[in-house]
Amino acid sequence: MMELLRKRRSIRSYRDQDIDPGIVELLKEAALRSPTSRNFRPWRFVFVEDKEKLAALSKAKPSGSSFLAGARLGVVVCAYDDESDVWIEDCSIASIILQLAGSSLGLGSCWIQIRLRMHDGSQTSEEYVRSVLGLPAGLKVESIIAFGYPDEERGPVPVEELEREKILSG
């Protein structure tokens, strides 16, 4: 597990290579195995492989989402907030579980924050994503995780650069 944590980095450039359907199925299983508070499982996952939809979703925010157009898979992580008071936490956990699973399967990934972000001056990123995918108004969108085979090399953060001062004494 520690080696996986060390090697996982945000990857924003992907090779022009389809993701094997078996790997996509493993990502689906990983998402559904994500820890969840009180086993409420409020999350929903939309697996998007259509290039036109990925290109449209890449415009969800003015910055920080454009690389999704070059990805081969985007997983929209969302939930019904009336199913759990900690849906944000559950969706966040599922998002990182997806990223770790993808890394273990040879994929690069990057989190795209959607909740509390703006698409433009009048529409939220969440509203924009719901409109692109035809999702119900009550479904809250936390994030999109972009996936693909890495077209960039990023080494682990050196241990000397870890911010040890963030570990407080108890």
Tally of CB atoms within 10 A around 47: 14
Amino acid at 72: R
Show pLDDT as tens, one digit a residue, over the chain (170 residues).
999 999 999 999 999 999 999 999 999 999 999 999 999 999 999 999 999 999 999 999 999 999 999 999 999 999 999 999 999 999 999 999 999 999 999 999 999 999 999 999 999 999 999 999 999 999 999 999 999 999 999 999 999 999 999 999 99
Residue among 72, 84, 73, 95 at smallest CA distance from 142? 95
CA 87, 52, 64, 145 torsion: positive or negative? positive
Tracing tokens 């907030």 back to the chain, one arrives at 81
Predicted TM-score (pTM) of the model is 0.97
Instruction: Provide the 3-class DSSP secondary structure of residue 108.
Output: strand
Question: Could you tell me which CATH number the domain at 17-152 has?
Answer: 3.40.109.10
